[in-house]
Chains A and B, each alone.
Chain A
Amino acid sequence: DVKVTQSSRYLVKRTGEKVFLECVQDMDHENMFWYRQDPGLGLRLIYFSYDVKMKEKGDIPEGYSVSREKKERFSLILESASTNQTSMYLCASSTGVGYTFGSGTRLTVV
């Protein structure tokens, strides 16, 4: 089975900090995605990548950036964390049939 691993399950950061969320997949998938999930809003796509060093903006990229230096690793960066970025962050990797998600990182910005 494809496994998508997110480095942290829970994070608490201070406003203004630079935050790195890491995601690693153990299959040779080209496509990787970062979503955030908030109550009542469902999953919203932040960024996705279809190849190493390639990235595309999703629906809500403001305040975020990403890095894909290796095929298996896709990082989400909050350049200067703000309280409105408190959320559940989900990484996904695409297979030939659907997406495989990680368990999520619950980020709290105080």
Chain B
Amino acid sequence: LAKTTQPISMDSYEGQEVNITCSHNNIATNDYITWYQQFPSQGPRFIIQGYKTKVTNEVASLFIPADRKSSTLSLPRVSLSDTAVYYCLVGDDANSGGYQKVTFGTGTKLQVIP
């Protein structure tokens, strides 16, 4: 299973764009990259998933270089409500016909400052 490394914490001012980078040097061919957001006393919530290049949804963008050894979650114009822990996960798609023991790291604690 690919291990991920991401910063422990980040601070940002409201209205700024925030980029959180995750390293996953041992990513396998079948692995997808998925990001989750977790607020205190809640379960993690799916944000975005990608395999290569760039993926964008209404919440965030995910940039994946050609070698796929890292990925960057981009949150445009953050607000105070974006203060949360963000997890980067790498693993086989959960519905690929098999199963996968996916490991969460400790995540990146993002603090948005007024």
Contacts and interface: CB of A to CB of B under 8 A. Distances in A.
Interface residues on A, range: 20 to 34
A104 B103 CA distance: 18
Interface stretch (B9-17, B36-44, B68-76): B36-44
Interface stretch (A14-22, A35-43, A65-73, A75-83): A35-43
Given A42-B106, A101-B45, A103-B42, A95 B101 contact: no
B95 interface: yes
A99 B44 contact: yes
A31 B46 contact: no
A90 B43 contact: yes
A53 B104 CA distance: 25
B105 A42 contact: yes
Contacts of A106: 41
Nearest to B43: A101
Interface of A: 4, 30-31, 35, 40-45, 48, 50, 56, 58-59, 88, 90-92, 94-104, 106
7 contacts: A4-B43, A40-B106, A50-B98, A56-B99, A56-B101, A97-B94, A99-B46
